[in-house]
């Protein structure tokens, strides 16, 4: 089983739609969770950190479910500019600040 | 502005040549990391350094070498021993002190001909 698993997509949605991605992680001791956004041929950029029960930032909401070992990202009112690959990232708490990256979920928002 | 710089952006080398990728940060971060990204794959950790003059192998260190002589700099050398060096290389840094977010440089796209 991979340490971090994501549906690669692509998720094709129209502008204004609400879309949600899930990500599962295998290490129950994991402490920190993040969503990064990566545009084509660019570096990943931090979108949100996910702590304890989750958090919200504008149109973006991240949730953590420790019992089922998954995190989710909800995007409301999708914009064309939201088209990107969303990386689920986990700190497995292995003794140093190592992050494990999922392969990403691709989102395409169309007019 | 604080940030991480990587150079060059694109690099072409002949098979069998060593090549060094530059990574510099002025964020005063202690920890620095090198990742490799291949199409359709997640980022894979090559080397990391938690403090100056110390570094550790990541998951795919074979064929790579690093140094950390200064806090600001963490260059990566791709040696001829690396079997498949063509990839997108990303450098990252992390502040520490309870902050676990990593911040990335713009990357170097290496193509070995």
Half-sphere exposure of B5 toward its Cβ, with a 13 Å CA cutoff?
Answer: 8
Give mean pLDDT, residues B17-31.
Answer: 94
pLDDT value of position A25: 95
Residue B97, pLDDT score: 67
Cβ <8 Å between B107 and A43: yes
- CA angle (B62 as vertex; B28, B93 as ends), nearest 5: 15
Give yes or no for residue B20 having a pLDDT over 90. yes
Does residue B95 sit at the A interface (CB-CB below 8 Å)? no
What are the strands, taking DSSP E only, across B1-113?
4-7, 10-13, 19-25, 31-37, 44-51, 54-57, 64-66, 76-78, 87-96, 99-104, 108-112
Give pLDDT tens digits along chain A (111 positions). Answer: 788 999 999 999 999 999 999 999 999 988 889 999 999 989 999 999 987 778 899 999 999 999 999 999 999 999 999 999 999 999 887 766 788 999 999 999 999
User: Could you tell me which chain A residue has the CA closest to the CA of B33?
Assistant: A98
CB contact under 8 A, B101 and A44: no
Of residues B31, B42, B94, nearest to A101 (C-beta): B42
Q: Which residues pair with A4 in a beta bridge?
A: A25
- DSSP element (H, E) containing A36: strand A32-38
Strand B54-57 relative to strand B108-112, pairing: unpaired
- Minimal Cα distance from B42: which residue of A? A103
């Amino acid at each position: 089983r991979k340490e971090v698993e994501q549906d690669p997509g692509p998720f094709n949605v129209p502008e204004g739609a609400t879309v949600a991605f899930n990500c599962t992680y295998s290490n129950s001791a994991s402490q920190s969770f993040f969503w990064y956004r990566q545009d084509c041929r660019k570096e990943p950029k931090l979108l949100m950190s996910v702590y304890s029960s989750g958090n919200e930032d504008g149109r973006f909401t991240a949730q953590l479910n420790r019992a089922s070992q998954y995190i989710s990202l909800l995007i409301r009112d999708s914009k064309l500019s939201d088209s990107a690959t969303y990386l689920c990232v986990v700190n497995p708490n292995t003794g140093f600040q190592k992050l494990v990256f999922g392969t990403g979920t691709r989102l395409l928002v169309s007019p | 502005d604080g940030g991480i710089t990587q150079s060059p952006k694109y690099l072409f080398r002949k098979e069998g040549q060593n090549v060094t990728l530059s990574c510099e940060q002025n964020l005063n971060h202690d920890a620095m990391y090198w990742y490799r990204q291949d199409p359709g794959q997640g980022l894979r950790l090559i080397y990391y350094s938690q403090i100056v003059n110390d570094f550790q192998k990541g998951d795919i260190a074979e064929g790579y070498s690093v140094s950390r002589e200064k806090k600001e700099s963490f260059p990566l050398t791709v040696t001829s021993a690396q079997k498949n060096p063509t990839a997108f290389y990303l450098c990252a840094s992390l502040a520490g002190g309870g902050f676990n977010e990593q911040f990335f440089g713009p990357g170097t796209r290496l193509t070995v001909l």
